[in-house]
A = this chain, B = another copy of it.
Amino acid sequence: MVRRNTALTNLKAGYLFPEIARRRRAFAASHPEAKIISLGIGNTTEPLTPHIDQGLVEGARRLGTPEGYSGYGDEQGMTVLREKIAQVFYHGTVQSDEVFISDGAKCDIGRLQLLFGPQTPVAVQDPSYPVYVDGSVLIGAAGPWTGEGYRGIQYLPCTADNGYFPDLSRIPEQSLVYFCSPNNPTGAVASRSQLESLVKAATDQGALIIFDAAYAEYIRDPSLPKSIFEIDGAKTCAVEVNSFSKPIGFTGVRLGWTVVPRDLSYAEGGSVNADWNRICTTVFNGASNVAQYGGLASLDDEGLREMRSLTDYYLENAKIIRTTLTSLGISCVGGDNAPYIWAHFPGQSSWDVFERILNTCWVVTTPGSGFGPAGESFIRFSAFGHRSDVEEACGRLHNLFK
């Protein structure tokens, strides 16, 4: 038979979230009486809001009419949606042909490294969203697991000691730097001056930032940047990945976008934007047209009001969780401009704390060590959940840790 991709051999067996789901199922099977509540995976729980849902419904309905039917669209997405995103989220600092519609940030992260291939070194915040690292291993840009991380990945620890912002002097030359703000999993948000220093460091090192802004709409502090393109110089050193999943609950509907500036070029010259266009037209075929109609509805006045009310709801959940943990003496960050709370359990292993909370509170969380070596002894609490579940989970946590 054919041989296995050696990159797959390098990848550890389980992706984090399926492993959590497996443990949850095993617990449920042995404890059928337990009403399990998830504060684990960042999965939206509230119904789509009426106006946005109507956009989806009407998008689906028009496909059943001769005038409204559409087959393959542009792989880059509907022009009107690209224009609207450029206008609403970037206020014209980004042009519509720099916006590429996708079926979600995770999928685009998987495709982005095709631009740079296995030769380009990778740096990640540590802890970070697992797909940055796993995708790098899959493309061959990182080697086997060493016990402390993947060989060839430059981990940039984000800890309480550095205010969850990494030491930028460790960014390798001509590397890809994954940077997520508001951060998953820590909930920390980089300030304007921090992002300015990031852009400067990347420019100095000839590095390219892959900026993940999937949680930007959770920012409430007006001084905090929502996009890397609010920073001067970013258009020659950054791409930005974003998503409709968390602002409007499209986790299952699948819609996102990536901004690839026209000013971005390779060391050898040549346009990264043109190459991204080639990749999107070659191994992608566009996001669902129904999803795109829904996305469009979210960007008019009524849709934007609904987006705000939905993110407000989850932020209120975050406040409840954070207040609970803080009142119990558990040190935590995040949850004010992000839907995640990052809680520290010094001296304990993340998976041990995960198991303890699951077994005694019937609450699913996410072990911090699953996000990278520096996540050890942390737990990520997700604010995505029904209010009543969040309140009940907090009551149980109170009983455990009081």
Contacts and interface: CB of A to CB of B under 8 A. Distances in A.
| Copies of this subunit | 2
Interface stretch (A39-47, A321-329, A392-400): A39-47
Interface string A322-350: 00000000000000000000000000000
Interface string A278-312: 11011111111111001000000000000000000
B115 A5 contact: yes
Contacts of A278: 8, 11, 13-15
Interface residues of A, number: 95
A64 B50 contact: yes
A176 interface: yes
Nearest to A252: B289
A56 B46 contact: no
Given A18-B281, A104-B285, A282-B110, A66 B41 contact: no
A67 to B, nearest CB: 9
Contacts of A18: 281
A117 interface: yes
A53 B63 contact: yes
A116 B251 CA distance: 30
A29 interface: no
A2 B284 contact: no
B47 A8 contact: no
Interface stretch (A68-76, A89-97, A227-235, A366-374): A68-76
B56 A251 contact: no
Given A63-B252, A254-B286, 9 more contacts: A1-B237, A2-B176, A4-B268, A47-B64, A50-B64, A60-B60, A60-B294, A104-B285, A111-B283
8 contacts: A3-B120, A5-B120, A8-B278, A41-B72, A47-B69, A56-B290, A72-B252, A118-B140
Interface of A: 1-8, 11, 13-15, 17-18, 41, 43-50, 53-54, 56-57, 59-61, 63-66, 68-73, 103-104, 106-107, 109-111, 114-120, 130-131, 134-135, 138, 140, 174-176, 206-208, 236-237, 249, 251-254, 264-268, 270, 275, 278-279, 281-291, 294, 384
